[in-house]
Amino acid sequence: MKFAKRADKIDSSFVREILKLASNSDIISFAGGLPNPNLFPSQAFRKASEDILSNPKMAQIALQYGESAGFYALREEIAKTYKQKDNLDIDPDLIIITTGSQQALDLIAKIFINKNDTVLLESPTYLAAIQTFQFYEPKFDTISLTETGPNINELEPKSGKLFYTIPNFQNPSGVTWNTNTRKFVADWAYKKNVIIIEDDPYGEIRFSGKRQPTLKSFNDDVILLGSFSKILAPGLRLGWIIAPNKDWFDKLILAKQASDLHSSQFTQLITWKFYKDFDSQKHIKELSNFYSKQKELLIKEIEAHIPEISLNNPEGGMFLWGELPIGYDSVELLKIAIEQRVAFVPGIPFYINDIKDNTMRLNFSNSSLQDIKDGVKRLKRSVDIYKGQNSL
Ligand SMILES: Cc1ncc(COP(=O)(O)O)c(C=O)c1O
């Protein structure tokens, strides 16, 4: 088989190969990025589906082809939420429903990236975004993350076509940008004519602290993305793009049509009905409260038993970021951890350059409280074995 050059460059990572072993059911996994399935609102979805399918007119809409931009009432619901939460005026006519925010990244890349264009990334950043952009053969440049967002001093002299950002509870690092950084980066992008992609699938999963303003509120040209995957269920495969203007909206729609005509009408209607008939904010609050407990426990157990791992303490989201002492190799540790039946993701695949190979991402949303305790015991054993093997 002769692949196109753009596909040939993209290889399946060795970390992914190791992590395939982590799907084994006796492994406690802090590796995936999965929401907790016990919190999916499945009964509400059952009721919403029954209501839709038992109403002949609704059933026909749900099962028919639909508009490429998505079901209008759902787009209005999304606009309403931004008004309520951020006092942001979003025109539903500029919202495009996508097949997860992953597709949003692909559509944006498709209409903006020429070969060798520069795409700026936070370092580290979301692995699957790197992979999506790679298909369009850009050059990458990175800005390192601090506790309050990208390092502004590094950013100042840079330029590029796009800057891909995850300002809330970043995957993988858990970092949330503070307000000053948001304003600075939004102004910088405006001056330098760089298009910011503001990818925000985790922003509503906040445990503490104050909701931060969107980058979009400081710069109208920001492309803001959202997703129902983490707040409701990823199986819906629904996310959205807020296009800054009609021109970009039209181009994105062309790309969307070429890709899949439109996202599932059926899951769009279920999601819309869920927002209409159920208390979505109560659901998100309950989910956040539970994730917060999981996060607290994972931090407490690691701090008590594995002093070698220093952790951050994110105010929301689904991930902790851990650093081992300099000289430790988290890929080697993972190999031992898999034998000890626990998994995490080493930091390496989240970096394009300046790789910190002593780092690791730990997911807390998808483990029971008991599994968190047991998993940390196994991780401690793994660190002890690693230290023994390396005479540390
Ligand atoms: C930062 C980020 N963006 C986008 C996605 C894609 O999510 P989805 O396509 O399910 O909306 C994820 C999923 O983990 C993510 O972490």
To test ligand 1's pocket by mutation, which of 121, 126, 204 has the most ligand atoms within 8 angstroms of CB?
126
What is the rounded CA–CA span in Å between residue 360 and residue 379?
Answer: 12
pTM of this prediction?
0.96
Ligand 1 atom nearest the C-alpha of 104 is: 9
In eight-state DSSP terms, residue 362 is: E
What is the rounded CA–CA span in Å between residue 337 and residue 345?
Answer: 11
In sequence order, the 6+-apart residues with CB closer than 8 A to the CB of 98 are 104, 107, 238, 239, 240, 241, 256, 263
> Which residue has its alpha carbon closest to ligand 1 atom 6?
102
- pLDDT recorded at residue 249: 98
CA atoms in the 13 A half-sphere facing the CB of 24? 14
Ligand 1 centre from 239 Cα, in Å?
A: 9
pLDDT tops 70 at residue 6: no
Three-state secondary-structure class, residue 252 = helix
Ligand 1 centre from 100 Cα, in Å?
A: 7
CB 369 within 8 A of CB 297: yes
Ligand 1 and 172: CB distance under 6 A:
no
CATH of domain 5-40+282-389: 3.90.1150.10
- Residue 111: other Cβ atoms inside 10 A: 15
pLDDT tens per residue, range 293-306: 999 999 999 999 99
pLDDT tens per residue, range 213-256: 999 999 999 999 999 999 999 999 999 999 999 999 999 999 99
For domain 42-277, the question of CATH label 3.40.50.720 is answered with no
Ligand 1 and 171: CB distance under 6 A:
yes
- pLDDT recorded at residue 169: 98
The domain spans of the chain are 5-40+282-389, 42-277
In the chain, the largest separation of any two C-alpha atoms, in whole Å, equals 70
Ligand 1 and 132: CB distance under 6 A:
no
> Which residue has its alpha carbon closest to ligand 1 atom 14?
33
